[in-house]
Amino acid sequence: MIKYLGSKRLLIPALLEQIRSVPDLQRVGDLFSGTSRVGHALKSSGYAVFANDHNAYAATLARCYVAADAEDWAEPAAALIDELNALPGEAGWFTRTYSEEARFFQPDNAARIEAMRHRVAQMDLHPTLEAVLLVSLMEAADRVDSTTGVQMAYLKGWSARSAKPIELRLPALLPRAPAGPGAATQLEAAEAAAALDVDLLYLDPPYNQHQYLGNYHIWETLIRWDQPEVYGVARKRLDCRTRKSPFNRKREALGALRQVVEAARAPHLLVSFSDEGFLGRAELEALLTGRGQVQVTVIDHPRYVGAQIGIYNPKGERVGAVSHTRNQELLYLVTPR
C-alpha cells in the first residue's frame, strides 16, 4: 500500500484485539479509512467491512481493498494490468505538471503514468474494476516517486527508486469475508456515521492541522483526472486551499467529533487518537461517556517520518532536531452500558 502519514499499520494488532474483544460482531465500519489498511485487516479477519473517506483517492483505495472481492475481480484486473503495462508513454498535462514544473516523477515514468490513466478513463469499466486498476497505478507511482513520503515537496535530488521503470501489480485483493460483502462510500464523516448500519464503528479522525488532501494531492488528481488549477512549488490542487476539514482546526475539532459520535448508529465505537492531537484524554472521555462505558488502552508509538529525519529548511539543510521521536496512541473502546 502507499506510503502514508498517520498509517495505522503498526497499530493493527492492537486494534484487532480491541475489536475481537466485543462479542457477536459481524459488520464493522471504518469512517476515516485513508489507505484502508485497517479495513483490509478487518476483512481478512472475517468481518463485513464498510469503509468511508471524503477524499477521492482514499475512497478508491477502499473500493479496492474493502469492496472488491478477489473471486470477482482479480482475474479481469490482472488481464487489464498486463495491457496497461505494455503502453508507451504519453506526455501531457500530468507530465508537465509533476515532472517538469515539479519533480515528483522522472519524465519517462510520468509519461507512462499519464498514458495508463488515459487508457483507464477510456475503458468505461465497472466502478469496482476501475478502482482496482487505479489503485494498482497509484501504488506503482508511489514506488517510483521522489519524496520523503508526502507530496508537500519533492526531494532536491532524484531518489534512487525514481529511476526504476514503473510497473503495475495486482493489488492484494481478499476473498469475500465470511460475514458478508463490504462496501465503500465517499461521504462527509457525520453523514456516513448516520448512514452506516454496523455493529462497531471505528473512528480515526485527523488529529492536528495537517490535511491529508494537501499531503496527497497528486493521488487526488490522479483519481479525479480533472487537470485542476495548481499553485506553489509542489503544484498543489487549488482546492487544497478551500476544501478544509473542521477536524484540522483546533477550535472546531471537538464539535466535529461530537457531531459524528452523536450521529453514529453503531452500538459500539472504537476511537483512535494521538496524545499529540488537538483533543486531550479528558475531553475525549467526557465526550464518549455519553455513549456508554469507555475503556482506554494506551500504546507507545513512533512519531511521523519527519520526526525521524529531523528539521530541514527549504534548501534541504538540516536546521534543527525534533524534541522526541515517540508518542502515545490512545484507543477508546465504547460499549453500551
pLDDT digits (tens, 9 = 90+) for 19-57: 999 999 999 999 999 999 999 999 999 999 999 999 999
Neighbouring residues of 25: CB distance < 8 A, sequence distance ≥ 6: 19, 47, 199, 200, 268
Asked whether 98 and 111 are in contact (CB, 8 A), the reply is no
Q: 51: domain CATH number?
A: 3.40.50.150
Residue 166 and residue 184 in one domain: no
Distance of CA 101 to the CA centre of its chain: 26
Residue 107 and residue 60 in one domain: no
Residue 7 and residue 47 in one domain: yes
C-alpha cell at 143: 514506488
Residue 87 and residue 168 in one domain: yes
SS3 content of the chain, % helix, strand, coil (to 5): 45, 15, 40
The total domain count for the chain is: 2
Is residue 291 over pLDDT 80? yes
How far apart (Å, rounded) are the C-alpha atoms in residues 89 and 107? 9
Task: Note the pLDDT of residue 316.
Answer: 55
Q: How buried is 107 (Cβ within 10 angstroms: 0-12 exposed, 13-18 middle, 19+ buried)?
A: middle
Residue 258 and residue 184 in one domain: yes
Give 176-227 pLDDT, tens digit per residue.
999 999 999 999 999 999 999 999 999 999 888 888 999 999 999 999 999 9
Residue 185 and residue 280 in one domain: yes
Residue 124 and residue 162 in one domain: yes
Residue 195 and residue 159 in one domain: no
Pairing of strands 27-30, 48-52: parallel
Residue 89 and residue 31 in one domain: no
Task: Note the pLDDT of residue 324.
Answer: 47
Domain that residue 20 falls in: 1-68+176-206+249-337
> What mean pLDDT is reported for the chain?
92
How far apart (Å, rounded) are the C-alpha atoms in residues 137 and 131? 10
Residue 2 and residue 78 in one domain: no
- Mean pLDDT score, 146-150: 93
Q: pTM to 2 decimals?
A: 0.91
